[in-house]
Amino acid sequence: MKKDNPLQKMVLAALFLALAFVLPFLTGQIPQIGSALCPMHIPVLLCGFLCGWPWGLAVGLIAPLLRSLTLGMPPLFPTAVCMAFELATYGATAGLCRRILPKNVPFVYLSLLISMLSGRLIWGVAMFVCMSSSGGTFGLAAFVAGAFTNAIPGIIIQIILIPILVLALEKVAARTQKN
């Protein structure tokens, strides 16, 4: 995508925000694994990769809070608040890594893994702070379960889908810029 086209980035960011709002409706139809598919993560990661870190951060921060305030899901505290920190980190880190690292396939995967790990760590810190401030506890076992074990289906989908979509969409954008 052209670096000097802020309107195009804003429109794409709005599209990714809308996808983050709607995708949980689709995965929610499968209650056993719906949240484990991490449906909001995909549009936020794509936004960071394709629109850059400021847009990825903004969409990641807004998406869970908007869903919580308008639909009541996820619950605002601590879930949506901690997800906002997590997803903002995903979007910002994906965009920063994509800007800094070489633009080839291995580095798309590296950027994705760095984004996923940093977002999950930030989520863990946010959960620890939120739970501690409300008199609860959040230990290592809860972190591992919430960040990794319960999210395995979503992690697998992200590792497979995100690089394919990023590379395909960048290829389409490059072709349209030539025309």
- List pLDDT tens digits, range 101-151: 999 999 999 999 999 999 999 999 999 999 999 999 999 999 999 999 999
Q: Give the domain CATH number at 132.
A: 1.10.1760.20
Q: Cα–Cα distance between 64 and 72 in angstroms, integer?
A: 10
DSSP for 86-106, please give it. HHHHHHHHHHHHHHHS-SSHH
In a domain, 113, yes or no: yes
Q: With a cut of 50, list the residues of the chain below it in pLDDT.
A: none
Compute the distance between CA of residue 28 and CA of residue 36 in angstroms, rounded to an integer: 10
Residue-level pLDDT at 177: 77
* Token pair recorded at residue 91: 């979007």
Host domain of residue 74: 6-30+37-178
The answer to whether position 1 is within a domain reads: no
Cα angle for residues 161, 41, 18 (degrees, 5° grid):
100
* pTM higher than the cut 0.75: yes
Tell me what pLDDT residue 3 has. 55
Domain contains 71: yes
Per-residue HEC secondary structure of 4-20 comes to CCHHHHHHHHHHHHHHH
Q: How many CA atoms lie within 13 A of 166 on its CB side?
A: 29
Indicate the number of domains in the chain. 1
- 45 falls within a domain: yes
Nearest Cα residue to 20 out of 70, 76, 68, 59: 59
The three-state DSSP-derived secondary structure of 117-176 is: HHHHHHHHHHHHHHHHHCCCCCCHHHHHHHHCHHHHHHHHHHHHHHHHHHHHHHHHHHHH
pLDDT value of residue 35 = 82
Q: Would you say residue 59 lies in a domain?
A: yes
Report pLDDT for 176.
Answer: 80
Residue 59 has which token pair? 């969409």
Identify whether 116 is part of a domain: yes
